[in-house]
Structure 1
């Protein structure tokens, strides 16, 4: 049977999904859906919103041909589709079998639904239709509100969960996520920014200083943790990566000084990588 593949990315504030063209290895833009979700809301409302969004994306498709790949944040039992998020977002669906709920409400078999970690889905998307097609060993890093780390060595990408690993006087995420820019800018100026976008409008000298410091942190992280995976390439994604030209040279210098010569690739798909990767994961899992 030829399947209609749907990639779904479930985030803390939105659900984003699309049908996937498996020949072109890209999203079918006419089916693209993005809807707001209150992840702090009650279970019934969360499921209603998810199902409504999925129904928009699958409109007109035969139910028996569907295959759903769903990228979810952790902690989560991905094989069985059970949420293990006990704190913060999605607390009201803790220990709920989401695969069972979605199958029933969408009139699908549970065998048509696959879950994958959201960081791993990012890398799967870049391997499937993005910037690292054909590579055999790839380490993925997403730099944004949080720090995502994932590794692929020939079968499925795995979540490496390095965000809270020891780093300097704290943990990795404190130096590599958006909050570092907010905190450091406050230290230097006494003023507040919300993220790297705000830096584009600031004095160039200050901008250069912050991105140089950030490049050193990222380089140190790669030397301390990533090099031991011996990847052919490192792929960077997330919103901070969109500013890569501002810290590329310093990062490359740091890596060369530490005898690291791995290829750095920049995400081709960015926000949509997890959608494409979730779909790819579902295909590979058949």
Structure 2
């Protein structure tokens, strides 16, 4: 059964159909999303792009937290995205707007990790972790492809960003904003820092190595506790992996498919939950 999937970010939404036979992804549309508009307007935008998909078998949606993925209630506040949806039941409204028989939400970092376990760098690895790095940091610890959120072997909720590092929130040390703050000159983004490092800029190289060293240090105790044998990095900053691979002393790889992994993961979870 093909699965209709939306991947929702703060600025764009991607609509795709995932075919589980070979985990082929057909992107139907990717459009700009005005995420700071009123709830009804956000629902309208999501519904408009979802209607381009075959919805007879329902819809899987991957999106960032804070969000109650079981009930469909959004809890965004001071996120710079979806702030007007705080306490709003997005699932109820979107399901009614599209007359869906089934609507499933999934954390985007978890969707990425499940996608990589299904068809990527950690395919069928018994114990692995996926890490997405962009404006913030997302993690998902998987045991046989299933997300583990509870217990002493994982961070609170399975989310590394909830931990502190060097007495500060982890995202103060490893995130896009942390890297841009550490680089002494104004640059548009981390990609530009990486480009400078590749042309021999020692400052850019040092900033990236420092940030990823922090990530490796923060991850290591949880890798040991959970028994992780392989880690996969995703998100926009994973494009700098070639510059920092040497800072990791555990098996780690960057995704080869930043566009499709979360779509595949959401579809795989949707089918598994049927």
CA 1:247 to 1:78, structure 2 compared with 1: closer, same or farther past 3 Å? same
Hey, what's the Cα distance between the residues in 1 that align with 2:25 and 2:40? Answer: 29
Structure 1 position 146 matched with structure 2 position 136: yes
Equivalences for residues 157-196 of structure 1 within 5 A: 157-158=147-148, 160-186=158-184, 191-196=185-190
Report the equivalent of 1:259. none
Range that drifts further, 196-205 or 171-180:
196-205
1:229 and 2:230 are equivalent in the alignment: no
Q: State the match for 2:201 in structure 1.
A: 204
1:1-286 matches, within 5 Å, as 3-29=1-27, 31=28, 33-56=29-52, 58=53, 61=54, 63-64=55-56, 66-88=57-79, 89-109=81-101, 112-158=102-148, 160-186=158-184, 191-199=185-193, 200-201=195-196, 203-249=200-246, 251-252=247-248, 255=249, 262-286=250-274
RMSD value, Cα: 1.9
Classify 1:225/1:134 alpha carbon distance in 2 versus 1 (closer, same or farther; 3 Å): closer
Structure-2 separation of matches of 1:96 and 1:204: 46
> TM-score by structure 1 length?
0.85
Q: Gaps spanning 5+ residues in structure 2: where?
A: 149-156
Are 1:234 and 1:264, in contact at CA under 8 Å, matched by a contact in 2? yes
What's the TM-score once normalised by structure 2's chain length? 0.88
SS at match of 2:253: strand
Single out whichever of 85-94 and 73-82 deviates more from structure 2: 85-94
Give the Cα separation in 1 of the matches to 2:226 and 2:93. Answer: 38
Distance 1:215 1:90, change over 3 A: closer
Which structure is higher in helix share? 1
Counterpart secondary structure, 2:58 = strand
Q: Which moved more, 1:115-124 or 1:155-164?
A: 155-164
Does 266-275 or 165-174 show the bigger shift? 266-275
Question: Secondary structure of 1:276's match?
Answer: helix
Q: Distance in 1 between matches of 2:66 and 2:217?
A: 27
Distance in 2 separating the partners of 1:153 and 1:234: 13
Unaligned runs of 5+ in 1: 256-261
Change (3 A) 1:201 1:86: closer
Report the Cα offset of residue 97 of structure 1. 2.5
The structural deviation recorded for 1:152 is 0.5
**Structure-1 separation of matches of 2:272 and 2:196:** 44
Aligned twin of 2:154:
none
Is 1:121–1:157's contact at 8 Å kept on the other side of the alignment? no
Q: Using the alignment, how far apart are the partners of 2:58 and 2:128 within structure 1? A: 26
* Count of residue pairs brought into register by the alignment: 262
Deviant stretches of 4+, over 6 Å:
none
Distance in 1, Cα, partners of 2:227 & 2:158: 14
User: In 1, are the aligned partners of 2:174 and 2:212 still within 8 Å (CA)?
Assistant: no
